[in-house]
Amino acid sequence: MVSSIQSLKGLLLVLNAVFPTAQASLTREPRELGRRDLMGTSNVFLGDRTGAPKNMASGILLGLPLNGSQIPDHFLSDVGFNNMRSGGSQLGEPRRGWTRGYEEFLGRYESLKSDYEVTRRHGGGFQIMIHDMWGIDSYGSPEEVPYPGDNGSYEDFDNFLDTFFELLIQDDMVENVRWDIWNEPDNGEFGNRGLDRYLEYYVHAHQKIVRDFPGGKTTGPSFGRLPNFAGDMINWFTEWASRVAENDAVPDQVSLHFLYGDGDLTTSINQFVGILSDAGINYNGTWNIQEYGNPDQQIPSTAVWNIAQLERHNAPGLRANWRGGLELHDLLANLLGKEGSGDQYDINDVDYWPAREYPVYVYYHQEMTGERVRTEMTEDTLADSFAVIDDSARRVRILAGSRPQTGTWNIQVNDLDTVGLAESGNIMVRTIKFNTAPGIYDRVADPEDLGTSTVAYQQNNVILEVRQTDPAEAWAFELEF
Ligand SMILES: *[C@@H]1O[C@H](CO)[C@@H](O)[C@H](O)[C@H]1NC(C)=O
Ligand SMILES: *[C@@H]1O[C@H](CO)[C@@H](O)[C@H](O)[C@H]1NC(C)=O
Ligand SMILES: *[C@@H]1O[C@H](CO)[C@@H](O)[C@H](O)[C@H]1NC(C)=O
C-alpha cells in the first residue's frame, strides 16, 4: 500500500491501490472466505532447534512521526523493533517528493532521515521506498506523474538518485540501507506504463544503485500480489525473473507483500523459488516480507499466526500499515493508539497506549527467549505456532494463533525426551490469554494469566487443546521441564 493519493485517504487504502483506475484490476479485495472452523494440529518439534530468536516479525512500515522522539522509545524497544521501510509517503505540500521539485524532495527527506535515526537507535535495518521519495502519490492520476523513463529518458531519475545518494552520504545514512526499487508496480501496471517499461526501469535502477551507492543493496520486486494469487498477472513475476537473470540484476533480497486474508507463506515462497529457478536463478538469500497483515487481521490471533509464518522462513517481516496521511506516520502501524486518532487525528497528541496486538509483540520479544524450534502449521494453514526452548528457565514457550476463525485445534509438542522429560507422565502448563480490543485504536487489556494446570501425556508428546471462541484472541503456553 502506501501510495494512495491523499484525497482518497481511507477509501482505497485497504485495496492497496496506487491510483483509482487501478482499483478494478486489483486482486487485493478481501476474499470471501467461507467461515471455516479451526481444527487439526500444529506440531512443535523440541528435538529440532533452529537458532536464536531474532524477532523476525518486529519490523514496521512507516508509523513513526516526523519528530523522532514523539513516540516514547520504550514502546519501540519493548517490542524489539528492528526493521523499517520509509519514504515520506503521502506527506502533503511542501513534502510531495522529487517530481514536485527539489524543496519538496527535501521535505520528504526530512521524514526519511528522522525515521532512519530512530531505526538506527534501535539497531534496525532500513529500506528506502524510491517511488514515494520520487513522489508518485502527489498527483491525481498516473498519467500526470512523470515516470522514470518517460520520453525515453532517465536523466531526471538519475539526477534524483545522484542527489539522494549525495545527501545520504553527507548525513552518514549509508549503513544498513537497502533500496526498494519500486512499490507494487503490478498494481496500476507501473503507472499505466506497462510491464516492459517497468522491467527496463527495474534493471536501470538496480544497476545504478549497485554502481553508485556505497555498498548498494537492492530489494524487489515488491509486487502487491503473491505468485500463488497472481492469476493472469503471473507474467509480471516470470518476466521480471528472466529480465533480472539476463541482466545480472537479482536483488540482494527478494521481497514480497504478504497481505492476503488467505494463503500461507510457505506456498508463496515455494512458488516464487520455482519461478526464479525456471529463470535460472538459484536464490538462497533472505525473503524480505515488506508488508504483512491483512487489514482486518491485525488482531492478536493473526499477529501470532504471522509471527509463526515469518519465523519458519527466517524471513524479516514488517507490519503492514493501513492508515493514511499523517496518521500513516504515527502509531507504529497500529501497535499503538491514542485519543487523537482516526477521524480525530491529532499529530500533537502524545498520550500513546497499547493497541490490540501490542502485548503479543511484547511477549514475543521479551519472553520468547532461548532457542527456536521447528513448528508446522495445521494442515488447513489456518492455525500456527511459534515455539522456543529456554534451557536456563527450564521452560518451553509457545505462541499460538490463527486466522480469525473459531473452533478447536491442537498443538502437539513432540520429542519431550530431548528436554529431559520422561516419555510419559505429567507436565505443568501455564496458559496466558492475549485479549483483543473492539477497535483498532482502543487500549487493550493486559494479557491474562489463566494459571497452571497439569496435563498428562504419553508417547513422548503432549497435546494442548486450543479452544478458540473469540476469533481475535491469541495464546501462550509455558511448559515446565
Ligand atoms: C518532539 O517530541 C518530544 C516528546 O513529545 C517533545 O518533548 C519535543 O519538544 C518535540 N520536538 C519538537 C521539535 O517538537
Ligand atoms: C515528456 O514529454 C512531455 C511532453 O513534451 C513533457 O511534458 C514531460 O515533462 C516529459 N517528461 C519527462 C519525464 O521528461
Ligand atoms: C547461496 O548460493 C551461493 C551461490 O550458489 C553460494 O555461494 C552460497 O554459499 C549460498 N549460501 C547459502 C547460505 O547457502
Q: Which of 69, 329, 350, 351 to mutate to test the pocket of ligand 1 (most atoms within 8 A of CB)?
A: 69
* Ligand 2 neighbourhood includes 158 CB (under 6 angstroms): no
By the 8 A CB rule, do 375 and 464 touch? no
Give 13-51 as a 3 state SS string: HHHCCCCHHHHHHCCCCCCCCCCCCECCEEEEEEEEEEE
- The span from the CA of 440 to the CA of 321, in Å, is 12
* Ligand 3 neighbourhood includes 281 CB (under 6 angstroms): no
The CATH number that applies at residue 399 is: 2.60.40.1180
Same domain for 336 and 467, yes or no, is no
pLDDT given for residue 33 in this prediction: 53
Residue with cell 477521524: 343
Same domain for 241 and 261, yes or no, is yes
Same domain for 16 and 85, yes or no, is yes
Atom of ligand 1 nearest to the CA of 72: 4
Last residue of a domain, one of 297, 326, 358: 358
Residues of the chain falling short of pLDDT 70:
1-35
Cα(150) to ligand 2 centroid in Å equals 7
Atom of ligand 2 nearest to the CA of 156: 13
Structurally, the chain folds into a number of domains equal to: 2
Cα(49) to ligand 3 centroid in Å equals 22
Last residue of a domain, one of 324, 358, 392: 358
0.85 exceeded by pTM: yes
Question: Going by CA atoms, what residue is nearest to atom 7 of ligand 3?
Answer: 284
Classify residue 460: in a domain, yes or no. yes
pLDDT given for residue 57 in this prediction: 99
Same domain for 453 and 310, yes or no, is no
State pLDDT tens for residues 85-136. Answer: 999 999 999 999 999 999 999 999 999 999 999 999 999 999 999 999 999 9
Same domain for 89 and 130, yes or no, is yes
Question: Going by CA atoms, what residue is nearest to atom 2 of ligand 2?
Answer: 151
Classify residue 42: in a domain, yes or no. no
pLDDT given for residue 36 in this prediction: 78
State pLDDT tens for residues 166-178. Answer: 999 999 999 999 9
The CATH number that applies at residue 75 is: 3.20.20.80
pLDDT given for residue 476 in this prediction: 98
Last residue of a domain, one of 358, 388, 420: 358
pLDDT given for residue 130 in this prediction: 98
Classify residue 406: in a domain, yes or no. yes
Cis peptide before 221 (omega within 30 of 0): yes
Same domain for 421 and 448, yes or no, is yes
Same domain for 192 and 214, yes or no, is yes
* Ligand 2 neighbourhood includes 156 CB (under 6 angstroms): yes
Classify residue 288: in a domain, yes or no. yes
Same domain for 143 and 175, yes or no, is yes
* Ligand 3 neighbourhood includes 151 CB (under 6 angstroms): no
Contact partners, residue 184, CB within 8 Å, separation at least 6: 1, 3, 16, 18, 222, 223, 224, 257
Classify residue 35: in a domain, yes or no. no
* Structural domain of 376: 368-480
Tell me the residue ranges of DSSP E strands in 136-249: 177-180, 218-221
* Ligand 1 neighbourhood includes 70 CB (under 6 angstroms): yes
Question: Going by CA atoms, what residue is nearest to atom 3 of ligand 3?
Answer: 284
> DSSP letter at 261?
S
- The span from the CA of 424 to the CA of 331, in Å, is 47
pLDDT given for residue 35 in this prediction: 65
Same domain for 248 and 376, yes or no, is no
Q: Kindly report the length of the chain.
A: 481
